[in-house]
Amino acid sequence: MKTYETVMKLALERGFYFPSCEIYSDALAGFWEYGPTGTKIKNNFIELWRRELLRRDDMIEIDGSQIMSRSVFVASGHLDNFTDPILKCKNCGSTFRADRYITEKTGKDVPELLSGNEIDKLVNQYNLKCASCKGTFHESSRFNMMFKVEIGPSKEEAYLRPETCQTIFVDFSRIFKTMRGRLPLAVAQVGKSFRNEIAPRQSLLRLREFYQAEIEVFCNPNRLNDLPKFEQVKDTRLTLFIDNSARDISAQEAVEQGLLPNKLVAYYMSLLAMFYSRTGLSMERTRFRKLSDDEKAFYASTAFDFEVETSNGWLELVACNYRSDYDLSKHAAISKQNLNVIDPSNNTKVLPHIFELSMGIDRSIYSILEHSYYEDLESDRVVLKLVPQIAPILVGIFPLVTKDGLREKAQEIHAMLKLDYPVFYDESGSIGRRYRRLEEVGAPFALTIDNQTMNDDTVTIRYRDSMKQERIKVSDIAKVLDTIIKSK
Amino acid sequence: MKTYETVMKLALERGFYFPSCEIYSDALAGFWEYGPTGTKIKNNFIELWRRELLRRDDMIEIDGSQIMSRSVFVASGHLDNFTDPILKCKNCGSTFRADRYITEKTGKDVPELLSGNEIDKLVNQYNLKCASCKGTFHESSRFNMMFKVEIGPSKEEAYLRPETCQTIFVDFSRIFKTMRGRLPLAVAQVGKSFRNEIAPRQSLLRLREFYQAEIEVFCNPNRLNDLPKFEQVKDTRLTLFIDNSARDISAQEAVEQGLLPNKLVAYYMSLLAMFYSRTGLSMERTRFRKLSDDEKAFYASTAFDFEVETSNGWLELVACNYRSDYDLSKHAAISKQNLNVIDPSNNTKVLPHIFELSMGIDRSIYSILEHSYYEDLESDRVVLKLVPQIAPILVGIFPLVTKDGLREKAQEIHAMLKLDYPVFYDESGSIGRRYRRLEEVGAPFALTIDNQTMNDDTVTIRYRDSMKQERIKVSDIAKVLDTIIKSK
C-alpha cells in the first residue's frame, strides 16, 4: 500500500506538509506549508539540483522578483492566453473548470485547448447542469490564471509571475554581459510561481503557490550539435515514450536515430535523468513522454515531459521544451531592446534560442516520498527509504541509556556534528522505538552510544535499509558521513 | 571611499543585484533581482544563518505560503493598522509618504506614528505644496501597505504576507504537536515578504518584495531565567545602546544589571551577535539599540534593534522584540482555537509568549558588501574582503598558461572540486588580471596550476587578504578547504 492517502497521513503526522492557515475557516484551497521535516527535504532536493545540474554543468543561477511588470506578460502572451475555460452557474454562481467538468460528467477525454463554442456545444449535447444546485450554466468564458497586484498609491498593474522563467528571459541581456557569457549559456532559477487554479487539489500536486526550478539554456540554433561535453553523457540510458511506446535507449542512439533532435537537447535531458536517479525516484517508473502536436505550445519544436508513475497515474515533473527564439523575440519586440548577442565561435550575431527544463519541485517531493514509502508488514515497520542526500535527518544520535555518562557522551557527539551535518539527538523511549521514529522520516543512519563507547570511543552505526550494525570510531564519524554525502 | 554609490556600481557590474524588469519602461520601483554572484552570497548568508543559529540551537524551520487568508491579518492587526500616512495632490494626483515628506521639506524629525490631524496641522503650518506641480494637498489619509490578491473565480480576499512570522504563529499548534515540542521552542522561517511601500528606495535597503529570516521563540513567561544553555553564551560581548549611550558588556552582566530583562532574551541576542560576527560585518560598527516607548509596538515589553553603521547612517538589520502573548492570543481569539500547550517542566498549561529575531536579509547583504569593500589606492585594486562562508566563489582555479597540459590539469582539478565547493575556472587574460577579477567578487583563495604541478602534483594557493602564496598538494586541497569552511 503506497497510495496518495498513505503518504498524506504520514506527511501530516510527521511534519512533512500540511494545509496553510488551517486554524481559520477561510483557509484557501491550493496553499500548503512545508513543515520542519518537509522543509529539510525540499531544501535538500534543491541543493541536490544545484549540485547535479548547476555545478556539474557550470550553470549560473539568479533569484528575481516574483512580482513583475505588466509588459512582461504582454510580451510572454500570458495576459491574453494564460486562461482556463470556466462554466458558471446562473443560479448559485458556482464555477467549474469547463474541460475537467465535462470529462468528469461524461467520461470523455476533453482536450485542454477547446474553444468556447465547442465547450458550449458539449454542455448542451450532454445537458450538463451545476453540480451544486442543478442550475443551468452561463455561456462558457475564459478565466485568467495570473494573480494581479496593484503597486503603490497609483495602483500600477503588475502580476505575480506564473512561471519563474520570465525573470531569466527579461534579465538575460544583463546577465550575458556581466558574466562574460558564451553560448550555450544555461541560466537557472529556483523560486515561487503562482497560478490562480480554479480547482486546486491533491496537496502538493496542484497548488496555487508552488516552487519551480527552471533552467533556460540559451543557445545558437546553428550549433546545436557542436557540443563536446555531450561525450560525457552519451551512454546515459533514457526512457523515451513516443507514440504510445516506450524505448530504453542511450542518449547517443537517440540523437543518431532522430528521436531527439540534437546533442544539446539530448545532453540536458541526460543530465536531468542522472539528477533524478540520485533523488531516490525509481527510475524504471519514469519516462520522457514526447508531446503530440495538439498538446505542445505552438512555438515548441520539440517537447518532452519527464513523467513519473505514482498511485495517481503518470505525473508530469519536468517540461522539456525547445522554445526556439519565441521568448527573446517577443521581449525584444515589446521592450524595443536589442537582445542579440555575439557568438565568438563563428563570430555572428544571433538571437539565442532556448531549450528549457521546467521542473515542479513540490510534485517531485511528493513522488520521491511515494516511491520511498515502504511498509514491512511482518515487523509492522514503516520505512521511508530516502537517499542520504534527500533525507531530512542524516543520522540519529542515541544514548542507549541516559545514565553512566552515556547521555553526556551522546550530547558531546551531537554537538561535534550538528553544525555541519543534519543530525538528530533523541533519548526518549526504547532504542527500538527511536529507530522506528527515525525510519519513518527517512533517516538512513543511527549512531548508538553504549557502555563500550565509554571504554574504546567507538559507537554503533546502524544502516536503515539493511538493519546491519557495525562499530566505528567516534573520530571517524565525520569521514564516514562525508564519504556518503560527497559520492560522485 | 565606501559609499552607497560605490557598492552599487560594483553590484551592477559584477552581477550582485540589479533592478527587476529593467528592459521595460513600466519597471516598478522597489523590486530588485539577485544576479549570479548575489544569489550565491544571499544563499550562503542563509546557510550560515541556518548553521550558526538554527543548528547551533536545535531550532526547527518551516516554509509556508506567502499568500495567506484574510482572517490572519484581521487577527494580526495588519488589516486595520499596517498603514502609512499619505499626502495626495489635488491637482496632479502625486502621492507622498506624509511623515517623510514633512521631514524632507521642513528638516524636522517627524514621528512615524503621527495622527492625521497632526499631519494636516503641519502641512498648513509650513504651507507645504506638491513637489511635482506646487498644487495643494487633500487631507492626509492612510494607505494600507499589504498587497491584496483575489483567489479563484469567486475572488476570495487574501493578502501577500507583510512578514514571514505570521506563518509561524498560525502553524504553531500543529508544529508543536507533530514535532513533540517543548518550551522554549524556536521556530524559524526564511522567505519573501511584501510591503507596498509608498516610496521604495536605495535598492536593497527598502524593497517592496524582500527576504526575511525570522525566528520566533515560544516560551513559558514564568521560566525565562530557567535556561541552562545560557551558560554557553554568558561571556558573549554585546554592545547595548540605551538612552543615547553605548556600553560594551557581557550577556551575563547585562542580565544582572537589568539592561536585558532575562536570560532567554540575552541568550538569543548573544547567538545573533555571534552569527553576525561570522558574516564579516565589522562588529565594532554594530549595536543593539533599545527602542524608546514611542518607537516600539504597544505589545512589546522589550524591543532592541540590531543596527549596523553604513555610509547611509545606522541601519536596522534585526528587530528583537519580546512580543508577549499578543500574537497567539489574537490568533486564538479570531480562529476560536485553543493554542495553549503544556509545559511538562512544571506541568502547567500556558499560552506561550514569543521573543522574536526578525532579520532583513537584503539589508544584511548590502551591509556586508559595504563593510567588505576595500580599495587599495596604491595598486588600484578593489578587493571585497568577504569571509569564505559568504563569498560567492571560494576558490579560483587558474592554469598559468593553457599549453603544456596545464589547461587539462587545471580542468581536472576543477572537475574534482566543483560538485562540492564553489569553485571558478578561468584561463583568460594574465594571471594578475584573473586575480583582480576574483578579488572584486570576494573570492578568498586562488589555485594556480603551473609547470611544477606537472612534476610534483602541487599547486600554488594564494590568499587574497595577505597576498601570500604557498604550495600545497593537489590531494590536500579538499582537506584545506574543509578546514576553512567548517571552522567552529
CATH of the domain at B124: 3.30.40.230
Asked if the Cβ–Cβ distance from A419 to B51 is below 8 Å, we say yes
Compute the distance between CA of residue B112 and CA of residue B305 in angstroms, rounded to an integer.
16
b vs e for A68-107, b when ≥16 Cβ sit within 10 Å of the residue's Cβ? bbbbbbbbbebbeebebbbbbbeeeebbbbbbbbbeebee
Instruction: For A386-429, write each residue's pLDDT tens digit.
Output: 999 999 999 999 999 999 999 999 999 999 999 999 999 999 99
Question: Smallest Cα–Cα separation from B398: which of B428, B437, B375?
Answer: B428
When scoring B14, B21, B84 by the number of chain A Cβ atoms within 10 A, the one with the most, hence best to mutate, is B21
User: In A, which residues are within 8 Å of B41 by CB distance?
Assistant: none
What pLDDT sits at residue A484? 84
Rounded distance between C-alpha atoms, residue A381 and residue A375, angstroms? 6
**Beta-strand runs (E) in B205-345:** 209-219, 237-242, 245-250, 286-290, 302-310, 313-324, 341-343
Instruction: Evaluate if residue A165 carries a pLDDT over 50.
Output: yes
From A371, A401, A431, the end of a domain falls on A371
Q: What is the mean pLDDT of residues A367-387?
A: 92
Sheet holding B148-151, edge to edge: B67-69, B156-160, B148-151
Chain B residue closest in CA terms to A479: B479
Ranges under pLDDT 70 in chain B: 1-2, 488
Q: Which of A116, A144, A172 is the last residue of a domain?
A: A144
Q: B125 lies in a domain? A: yes
H or E element that contains A88: strand A83-88
Asked whether residue B250 is domain-assigned, the answer is: yes
A311 and A270 assigned to the same domain: yes
Best residue in A13, A20, A23 for a mutation probing chain B (most B CBs within 10 Å)? A23
Residues near A427 by beta carbon (within 8 Å), at least 6 away in sequence: A398, A399, A402, A407, A410
Range from A187-196, A313-322, B292-301 carrying the lowest mean pLDDT = B292-301
Calculate how close chain B gets to A193, using CA atoms only, in Å: 11
Provide the CA A381 distance to its chain's centre, in angstroms.
28
Same structural domain, B197 and B345: yes
Q: What is the DSSP letter of A52?
A: I
**Does this complex have an ipTM over 0.90?**
yes
Checking DSSP bridges between strand A381-384 and strand A395-399, what pairing results, if any?
A: unpaired
Residue of B nearest to A190 (CA): B39
Q: Is the peptide bond before B228 cis (omega within 30 degrees of 0)?
A: no
Cβ neighbours of B208 in A, within 8 Å:
67, 151
- Report the number of distinct structural domains present in chain B: 3
Nearest CB among B21, B143, B425 relative to A68 is that of: B21
Domain membership flag for residue A377:
no
Cβ–Cβ of B86/A147 closer than 8 Å? Answer: no
Q: How many CB pairs under 8 A join A and B?
A: 239
Q: Measuring CA to CA, how many Å separate B485 from each of A474, B57, B270?
A: 21, 19, 22
CATH number at residue A218: 3.30.930.10
Chain B residue closest to A20 (CA)?
B65
Mutate to test the interface with B, among A8, A22, A24 (most CBs of B within 10 A): A24
Positive/negative CA dihedral, A221, A227, A229, A230: positive
Query: What's the pLDDT at A376?
Result: 85
Q: Judge if A238 and A343 occupy the same domain.
A: yes
Average pLDDT rounded to a whole number, residues A347-375: 96
Give the end of a domain, one of A92, A119, A144: A144
| pTM of the complete model | 0.96
Q: Which of A456, A460, A485 is nearest to A472 (CA)?
A: A460
The answer on B107 and B69 residing in a single domain is no
Q: Is B18 on the interface with A (CB under 8 A)?
A: yes
CA dihedral A212, A215, A216, A217 (to 10 degrees): -170
Record the cell numbers describing residue B79, joined without a space.
488589516
| Same domain (yes/no): B106, B155 | no
Of B370, B441, B382, give the one whose Cα is nearest residue B8: B370
Angle (deg, nearest 10), helices A361-372 and A4-13: 100
pLDDT in tens, A47-75: 999 999 999 999 999 999 999 999 999 99
Say if B321 falls within a structural domain. Answer: yes
CATH number, domain of A477, equals 3.40.50.800
Ranges of beta strands (E only) in A276-350 are: 286-290, 302-310, 313-324, 341-343, 348-350
Q: Looking at residue A320, what is its pLDDT?
A: 97
Residue B211 CB burial class (10 angstroms; 0-12, 13-18, ≥19): buried
Q: Are B62 and A35 in contact (CB under 8 A)?
A: yes
- Give the model's pLDDT for residue B1: 47
Same domain, A300 and A435: no
Closest CA to A165 of A271, A66, A302: A66
- Chain B residue with CA closest to A332: the answer is B23
B58, B153, B158 member nearest A28 (Cβ) = B158
A280 lies in some domain = yes
Residues B73, B121, single domain; the answer is no
Looking at residue B2, its pLDDT comes to 63
SS3 B436: helix
Average pLDDT for chain A: 94
Let me know: does A469 contact A460? Beta carbons within 8 Å: yes
Residues A96 and A26 in one domain: no
| Residue A29 domain flag | yes
Q: With CA atoms as reference, report the closest residue to A386 among A49, A38, A34.
A: A38
| Chain A residues closer than 8 Å to B21 by CB | 65, 68-69, 71-72, 170
| Residue A385, domain member (yes or no) | no
**Taking CB atoms and an 8 Å limit, are A63 and B33 in contact across chains?**
yes
The residue written with cell numbers 576595500 in the block is: B374
Whether residue A159 lies within 8 A of chain B, CB to CB, comes out as: no
Which of B466, B448, B468, B467 has its CA nearest to residue B458? B448
Please report whether residue B170 resides in a domain: yes
Is A154 at the interface with chain B, CB within 8 A? yes
Among candidates A23, A67, A174 on the partner chain, residue whose Cβ is nearest the Cβ of B209: A67
C-alpha to C-alpha distance for A29 and A202, rounded to whole angstroms: 10
B164 has a chain A CB within 8 A of its CB: no
- Same-domain pairing of A137 and A227: no
Q: How far apart are CA B106 and CA A423, in angstroms?
A: 57
How confident is the model at residue A304, as a pLDDT? 97
Tell me which residue has cell 482572517: B71
Helix or strand run (H / E) with residue B452: helix B451-456
* Residues A270, A165 share a domain: yes
Q: Rounded to an integer, what distance in angstroms lies between the CA atom of residue B372 and that of residue A417?
A: 30
* A93–B contact, CB cutoff 8 A: yes
Contact B436, B10 (CB under 8 A): no
**In terms of domains, do A238 and A191 share one?**
yes
CB A398 within 8 A of CB A426: yes
DSSP-assigned beta bridge partners for residue A217: A186, A355
Residue A305 makes CB contacts below 8 A (sequence gap 6+) with: A288, A289, A291, A316, A317, A318, A319, A320
Residues of A in contact with B488 (CB under 8 A): 419
Burial bucket for residue A150 (CB in 10 Å: 0-12, 13-18, 19+) = middle
Are β-strands B237-242 and B245-250 bridged in parallel, bridged antiparallel, or unpaired?
Answer: antiparallel
Give the side-chain half-sphere CA count within 13 A for A369: 29
Task: Please tell me the predicted confidence (pLDDT) of residue A488.
Answer: 58
- Is B268 found in the same domain as B200? yes
Domain that holds residue B97: 83-144
Contact residues on chain A for B29, CB-CB shorter than 8 A: 152
